[in-house]
Chain A
Amino acid sequence: MSKVLLEVKGLRVAVAGNEILRGVDLMIREGEVHAIMGPNGSGKSTLAQVLAGHPAYAILAGTVTYDGKDLLAMIPEERAREGVFLAFQYPVEIRGITNSYFLRSALNAIRKHRGQPELDPMDFLQLLEDKLKNIGWDDSLMNRPVNEGFSGGEKKRNEILQLAALEPRLAILDETDSGLDIDALKTVANAVNELRSPDRSFLIVTHYQRLLNYITPDVVHVLADGRIVKSGGPELAHELEAKGYDWLRDGAMVS
């Protein structure tokens, strides 16, 4: 069995005084793809944001160990530099800054942390081109300002493009499928499949099963009312699609 990359134990989290996560336990090994499903308001996005270190959330209890280190003790940029990547549900716009410059700055911050030399614009473009070729994309988004004037689909695609460039060890996808039409969904899913590797783990947060038609997870978890109430193989996603979430909510901890 491969090494444990992420271990969440008894995580309780509140935002603005409301407890959203009420004791989450989760273990992800290197190279595994986990999907977190659940109804609206179950705490899926909160879990994604907390793992990335968003300052709006208060940790009430629990631990998160990432690659043997205390993840909760790290500030957001340290987590990023250590290889935690969040593909945002709502990517923000950065006016006047090109995607290319932004991504190079981010990559260089990470490379510096790893003790690697920084890349100049030429080297960066070359590297990026190679990465894009691997997932079958072009660089048409690179010279546009970060997410400014992007369509919903382009924004989501841009998140995956960043994922490809920054090569994280843990990639968290927060509802990356929402707002995508079927073609865009396939494009994104194919890219993610290309990016799967033995030293990269994925945590895919999604409300619907349809993304999982294209990305086959190793483990599916159901999050309801702030707890993981059921875990299983890829077949669980299909079961949820057929039955909805309600049957899990009442029974609480069925595991």
Chain B
Amino acid sequence: MTSIEAHVQQPYKYGFVTDIESEVVPAGLNEDVIRLISAKKGEPAWMLDWRLKAYRNWLKMQEPHWPNVKYGPIDYQAISYYAAPKKLPKLDSLDQVDPKLVATFEKLGIPIEEQKRLSGVAVDAVFDSVSVATTFQAELAKYGVIFCPISEAIREHPELVQQYLGTVVPYNDNYFAALNSAVFTDGSFVYVPKGVRCPLELSTYFRINASSTGQFERTLIIADEGSYVSYLEGCSAPMRDENQLHAAVVELIAHDKATIKYSTIQNWYPGDDEGKGGIYNFVTKRGKCAGANSKISWTQVETGSAITWKYPSCILQGDNSIGEFYSVAVTSHRQQADTGTKMIHLGKNTRSTIVSKGISAGRGQNTYRGLVKIMKGADGARNYSQCDSMLIGDQCGAHTFPYIDVRNSTAIMEHEASTSKIGEDQIFYLRQRGLSAEDAVSMIVNGFCKEVFKELPMEFAVEASRLLGISLEGSVG
């Protein structure tokens, strides 16, 4: 099976470092650092107060160790909490952006220059702790859609940020969410007004560049009544020997009849073959279907990070609201992932769908952990869960922890699970038809992940398939 494994364990292609002059705040965390971050962002007093409240809570909290992952202690005082390129655009003009930044994003396949922009996709490019460019802002404004760095939203749209920030993931929700609330630096803010179908795909690309820093971004997306938005995030980081912490928080709010589609292609540096280096991706993502007939759909393709620890979740509060979670998580080398979702059914006739595909290769460990909770008032709630694991080689592991908590007897629950191994016979069958061993593996993996890939926006389905080194079926690619 060595050829199969070699194929799955491709070298990391995005591990370069951009040599750029950066301002990096000295390592360490205390209230002065938080005040400094807040001041750098030109934040109002309420924001600083909120950060400090979160920080003081965080000090009293314990780092959680229940996930099925292993890592050494994290020294929070050894991390720098703010790093930014020195030359940043003053206004909304890219002329003043350091060409090295433009080149960096171009190398990552994210063109931010006016003439090269991806059609149909507005991009917010975040480099270390700051947003360096957001495209198509003016065009979106015509529809009343706000798409900007969250630091800008705090200054320009304080009433919206104050109304929604922390309402889905409170500042004291969990250890890493509290840390994020205290020190978050940038991220994206989206507001789609009533009845508007956002005309572009919105996308944020997160790039960690500086060493010994963490990235703490915060994303807040609000879809007002009857609106629709599709948002995608991508990410990558240089290859470094150290572990870098990425602790993000994402909050989504969908009002009556609104739909939010949130897709992630996560490709943080996974560390080397021996497990040295790589990103710790400890993220809290949660959406609230606040209104009736609203819908939140999470799709994630997780291929990077040394450790992934995240559970994009839905609180189905509005009657008839829908939550979806489609996930492909790949662990190879020595990567570890503990990921899944939580579907909390509160409203009547709420429905949720979970489709999780875990692929383990090398010495990777892949855990699905999911909770489906049907509360007392959720009459007629339904859930369908499907958890499939694929093993490549004999040194990896797949684990499944589905938790089900039903408090209403009218609920209908379905759960399916499977574990498969890419077999020599499957590979031989495809090779006998003329396909190379590599293409054979690609095809098998592609077929395995198909239900998830078809949920991705077209442009990104191609990207996702490229990441997995697989070719998509004609209808998509």
Contacts and interface: CB of A to CB of B under 8 A. Distances in A.
B120 interface: no
Interface string A67-99: 000000001110111000110100110111110
A211 to B, nearest CB: 21
A91 B474 contact: no
B443 A105 contact: yes
Contacts of B447: 94-97, 145
B131 interface: no
B446 interface: yes
A80 B450 contact: no
B428 A102 contact: no
Contacts of B432: 52-53, 76-77, 79-80, 85-86, 88
A113 interface: yes
Given A92-B426, A95-B448, A96-B447, A101 B474 contact: yes
Contacts of B428: 52, 54-55, 76
A121 interface: yes
B6 interface: no
B451 interface: yes
A166 interface: yes
Contacts of B425: 92
Contacts of B200: none
B21 interface: no
A91 B423 CA distance: 13
A110 B448 CA distance: 25
A35 to B, nearest CB: 21
Contacts of B449: 96
A104 B439 CA distance: 13
A106 interface: yes
B73 interface: no
A18 to B, nearest CB: 18
Nearest to B437: A77
A109 B471 CA distance: 14
A56 interface: yes
Contacts of B76: none
A145 B392 CA distance: 21
A162 interface: yes
A113 B444 CA distance: 22
Interface string B243-260: 000000000000000000
A55 B448 CA distance: 24
A162 B448 CA distance: 22
Contacts of A52: 428, 432
Contacts of A103: 433
Interface in B433-477: 433-437, 439, 443-444, 446-451, 473-474
Interface in B386-442: 423-426, 428-437, 439
A166 B424 contact: no
A175 to B, nearest CB: 16
A82 to B, nearest CB: 9
Nearest to A86: B432
Q: How many A residues touch the partner, as a band?
A: 35 or more
B434 A109 contact: yes
A101 B473 contact: yes
B443 A94 contact: yes
A96 B439 CA distance: 15
A252 B431 CA distance: 36
B474 A162 contact: no
A104 B428 CA distance: 17
A92 B435 contact: no
A106 B435 contact: yes
Contacts of B444: 94-95, 97
Given A76-B428, A95-B447, A102-B443, A121 B437 contact: no
A102 to B, nearest CB: 7
B446 A55 contact: no
Contact of A166 (B429, B433, B443, B448): B433
Contacts of B436: 77, 109
Contacts of A95: 444, 447-448
A52 B433 CA distance: 10
A98 B473 contact: yes
Contact of A96 (B435, B437, B451): B451
A76 B431 contact: yes
Contacts of A166: 433-434
Q: Which of B425, B426, B429 has most A Cβ within 10 Å?
A: B429
B16 to A, nearest CB: 33
B426 A94 contact: yes
Nearest to B471: A105
Contacts of B443: 94, 97, 102, 105
Contacts of A54: 428
28 contacts: A52-B428, A53-B431, A54-B428, A56-B424, A76-B432, A77-B435, A79-B432, A80-B431, A81-B434, A94-B447, A96-B446, A96-B449, A96-B450, A97-B443, A97-B444, A97-B446, A97-B450, A98-B473, A102-B443, A105-B435, A105-B443, A106-B435, A109-B433, A109-B439, A113-B434, A121-B474, A145-B447, A166-B433
Closest CB pairs A-B (n = 3): A96-B447, A106-B433, A96-B450
Interface of B: 423-426, 428-437, 439, 443-444, 446-451, 473-474
